[in-house]
Amino acid sequence: MNKNQIGTNAGIVWKLLSDNAHWEYDKLKHASGLSDRDLNAAIGWLAREDKIDFDIDEQHDRLFLHVNVYIG
């Protein structure tokens, strides 16, 4: 695994999350076709860039896009 591949995988996850749904980890893993290791690295990349948020409750952990809106 290298930084370029992690960035590519982050793009795959970003595209899936762009439907504005809250994705459960297992569904995101299945839809992306990424291994746990690759998916976790991609999630970390997006989280570090403040591009995703997490919706955590007692039963599910969900991921969704963090959208910054700037009106200037």
CATH of the domain at 37: 1.10.10.10
Structural domain boundaries enclosing 9: 3-65
Confidence (pTM): 0.83
| Interval 6-58: pLDDT, tens | 999 999 999 998 888 888 899 999 999 999 999 999 999 999 998 888 888 77
In a domain, 72, yes or no: no
Show contacts of 36-42: CB within 8 Å, 24+ apart.
37/1, 38/1, 38/5, 38/6, 38/9, 39/9, 39/13, 41/1, 41/6, 41/9, 42/6, 42/9, 42/10, 42/12, 42/13
Total number of domains in the chain? 1
Task: Identify whether 43 is part of a domain.
Answer: yes
Residue 70, domain member (yes or no):
no
| Residue 59 belongs to some domain of the structure | yes
Residue 41 is assigned to a structural domain of this protein = yes
Asked if residue 49 is part of any domain, the answer here is: yes
pLDDT recorded at residue 68:
57
pLDDT at 43: 93
